[in-house]
Structure 1
Amino acid sequence: MNLEEGEILALKEYREEKSYLVRKITSVANRLNRIERNIKNEFPLPNENLEKLTEFFPNIKVKKIEDINKFHINISQILDKQLENSLNVLKDEKRILETRLSDLDRKIDDFLYSFEEDNELLNNLNSLYQKKYILETENESYERNEAIKRDISKKKDEIDKIKGQTVSELNQIINKSIKKVNQFIYQSTKKAPQLKLDINNYEYINNENTGTGAAYKNLILFDLAVFETSELPFIIHDSFLFKNIEIPAIERIIEFYSSSVKQIFIAIDEAQKYKEEVKNIIQQNAIVLLDESKTLFVKDWSK
């Protein structure tokens, strides 16, 4: 007797259905076991335990605990009824599934008996069909993975494009702010440094002067530019930043500090060398004033 592919497919469907029914019966049985365990658990506090509790805590309010205990008993009774209902539903479902499985086993036995002479051929064909199914599934998985890879690559390109646009916009905003701060401090007498940002790198260029003072001045310009164009709540500049910057520039920087509506903390030495207006700004906004008689620490570390 020759076996057609349709007959092999029918056997495969029988076996797949049997596998499904076995898994389903196991799942229902596990749920039944959980419900039976929950029904057996006793949540309320037994009276003998309550009596023992009063031995250790004589002043405890027993009436309140009893009320709570009664509440738990009522809740437990309601839950027990619900669990019993669920238990009966699951038992019925398990019986139906087991009946279906028993009927299916008979079908498989009858099917195999009718092809008993070609049993080896049947198994071989079934094995080939399984291999075919596996190869088709693997091919579909490969195609899905390739489609996902293409989608990821496309999304990555889109993200890189957005990042590039964002960095370019940020670069323009910061450079515009640097020019504004530089104009306030130098009134067009000195060219503003330029920030060059890309996704992976940056440059901060000042072709006119590469000395220490220019480096500190450019750092202050950058700080103030970012400070003015962001949600940064405050900045702090220490006194060493001002050491190598010319006095007129420092005076304008302090005036810029004074014009800001946000908080700026600085430490500055030799305030007396600046013009009167700047000295007044420093004095009016000073929080801590230090000199030889008023040192920050008990020991004067400069001596």
Structure 2
Amino acid sequence: MKSKYFNKLSSFFENTNEQKIEEIESFHNKIGSILKRELNNAKKILEEENKIVIEEIVKIDLKISSLLENVKSPKFIVEKIYDLTIESNKISNVNKFYKEKEQVISHLKQLNLDLEEIISEILNSIEEEINTELIRINNEIHRGNKKIPKIKINKRSYVFDHQDNTGTGKAFSDLIEFDLVILKLTPLPFLIHDSILFKNIEDSAIDKIIEQYSTEQKQIFIALDGINKYNENSKKNLMKNRVIQLNDSRKLFNQDWS
């Protein structure tokens, strides 16, 4: 059906395609009809839902009215609300503190992990420095393929490994080497070695140990039984740096305990 305005449109524009315009208007009318139908359907659904909500509100109002019928004074309601508010605040604070506690615990765990990593790095650095110096001094004291002692440092313990060489002489020699390394690498002011450490160490190794003593700037105190079995350089160093020398006529005690 043609629109009543088509004739007026033709008076303004020549060669107007009235058929095309009519098709467009028909399409618009169909779209309008569909939208109207959809809107009416949506309206019905919303009206039904609104009706249900209103019914629920009425039910709640009735329950409230029923509860208030037994209340003689509004003071009861105020006190009840006050108590519930306090309880709610308590629960909120507990929940807040719990979350804060969990955050602190998590942060503390991370700090402990970071601390463990730092400690491990420091111990590894100390371990590497000691073992490097042990290699150097062991190669200077011993000839041939002597196994080099090695230290492994953990947070709560350490292991001084003699590399399966359990001989008494090698064990004491390793100990002396370790002491010399610690003296060199730390602020330790002096070192003391008793004669018992030297008894089972081969003479050539002791000569090298005395040579190490002589190069150290810090004080080293040693007790040694007899010096004639050592080389001339060792004798010279021992005689030059001796503090006390004992013999048959010069005893440490009046009583001979041997």
Contact 2:150 2:160 in 1 (8 A): yes
- 2:221 aligns with 265
Check if 1:222 corresponds to 2:182. no
d(CA) in 1 for partners of 2:186, 2:143: 24
- 2:256 aligns with 300
Give the deviation of 1:128 after TM superposition. 1.3
Q: Find 1:201's aligned residue among 152, 157, 181.
A: 157
Gaps of 5+ in 1: 1-115
d(CA) in 1 for partners of 2:235, 2:164: 30
Check if 1:180 corresponds to 2:116. no
- 2:238 aligns with 282
Check if 1:129 corresponds to 2:64. no
Question: What whole-Å deviation, never above 9, does each CA across 1:94-142 have from its counterpart, x for those lacking one?
Answer: xxxxxxxxxxxxxxxxxxxxxx942222222211111111111111111
- 1:238 aligns with 194
Q: Find 1:141's aligned residue among 74, 80, 97.
A: 97
Give the deviation of 1:187 after TM superposition. 4.4
Give the deviation of 1:157 after TM superposition. 0.4
Deviating beyond 3 angstroms after TM superposition, the runs of 4 or more aligned structure 1 residues are none
Give the deviation of 1:195 after TM superposition. 1.8
Contact 2:191 2:219 in 1 (8 A): yes
Contact 2:210 2:234 in 1 (8 A): yes
- 2:21 aligns with none
d(CA) in 1 for partners of 2:80, 2:87: 11
For these two proteins, the number of residue pairs brought into alignment is 187
User: What letter is aligned with 2:146?
Assistant: K
User: What letter is aligned with 1:150?
Assistant: S
Contact 2:147 2:165 in 1 (8 A): no
Question: What whole-Å deviation, never above 9, does each CA across 1:193-243 have from its counterpart, x for those lacking one?
Answer: 222223343322233621111110111111111211111111111100000
- Percent of paired sites with the same residue: 34
Cα gap change, 1:297/1:120 in structure 2, threshold over 3 Å: closer, same or farther? farther
Highest Rg: 1 or 2? Answer: 2
Question: What whole-Å deviation, never above 9, does each CA across 1:150-208 have from its counterpart, x for those lacking one?
Answer: 00000000011111111111111001100111121124542322222233433222336
SS in 1 for 2:146: coil
Cα gap change, 1:134/1:208 in structure 2, threshold over 3 Å: closer, same or farther? closer
d(CA) in 2 for partners of 1:127, 1:298: 94
Aligned positions of 1:5-154 closer than 5 A: 117-154=73-110
User: What letter is aligned with 1:193?
Assistant: P
Identify which of structures 1 and 2 has the higher relative contact order when contacts are C-alpha pairs closer than 8 Å and 6+ apart.
1
Gaps of 5+ in 2: 1-71
- What is the root-mean-square deviation of aligned Cα atoms in Å? 1.7
Q: Find 1:210's aligned residue among 166, 180, 186.
A: 166
- TM-score under structure 1 length normalisation: 0.58
- 1:45 aligns with none
Cα gap change, 1:208/1:145 in structure 2, threshold over 3 Å: closer, same or farther? closer
Question: What whole-Å deviation, never above 9, does each CA across 1:11-49 have from its counterpart, x for those lacking one?
Answer: xxxxxxxxxxxxxxxxxxxxxxxxxxxxxxxxxxxxxxx
Cα gap change, 1:234/1:191 in structure 2, threshold over 3 Å: closer, same or farther? same
- TM-score under structure 2 length normalisation: 0.68
